[in-house]
Amino acid sequence: MVQTAQDDTLHRRGLMFILSSPSGAGKTTIARMLLAADMELAVSVSATTRPMRSGEVDGKDYHFVTQAEFDRMVEAGEFYEWAHVFGHSYGTPKGAIRAGLKAGQDFLFDIDWQGTQQLYQKAERDVVRVFILPPSLAELSNRLIGRGTDSAEVIAARMARAQAEISHWDGYDYVVINDDVEVCFAKVHEILNAERMRRTRQTGLIDFVRELTRG
């Protein structure tokens, strides 16, 4: 059955929507807001070797694995990207993501610049990279202290890492300053919706236009 001009559900290929930011700049908050507001977006569930925290669910928050299992997955090439961060390993399994993209499913990734680089190298055409900046380093420090979860030593380490991560801002397609979380969220959501409409992702357009131009 050929779709009509009134049908805006032409098939499209899904995308891999990456959010990166220094710790405390807001990517996790923005990610949660996106998932709550957009039913077409699914979170990419990473594998990790870190211990499960209270309230977390295996397979929903993370795939919790041993270091030995993680290393086996690395050797078998089962990750799009992986990294060792703050004493634990994290990785993005390929598995269901490839099938989901083909079916038009969008995936949200909350990963750092190293993971972003790896993912882009392996799946460039499907990747959209968004980097979130804090309004200032002073504000970033205040946010980390305000969490009340880290020691002064850990906060100092996170601040040093933040400056290193910020230096890679030009490796992203979009950069958004998170001075106001609602405004930042709105901008990020606009980016997502615009990227969904790229001609190269509208795989259903080929047959649709062919039908329009058939004499």
- Summarised one tens digit per residue, pLDDT across range 164-184 is 899 999 999 999 999 999 999
Give the model's pLDDT for residue 1.
Answer: 40
pLDDT tens digits for range 5-25: 445 578 999 999 999 998 878
Crossing angle for the helix pair 137-147 and 152-166, to the nearest 10 degrees: 140
Give the model's pLDDT for residue 5.
Answer: 43
pLDDT tens digits for range 27-39: 889 999 999 999 9
Give the model's pLDDT for residue 215.
Answer: 64
Are 23 and 112 in contact, with CB atoms under 8 Å apart? no
Average pLDDT of the chain is 89
Report pTM: 0.80
Other beta carbons within 10 angstroms of residue 119's beta carbon come to 22
Domain boundaries, the chain: 16-44+104-212
User: What are the residues facing 170 on neighbouring strands?
Assistant: none
Just give the CATH number of 16-44+104-212: 3.40.50.300
Are 92 and 82 in contact, with CB atoms under 8 Å apart? yes
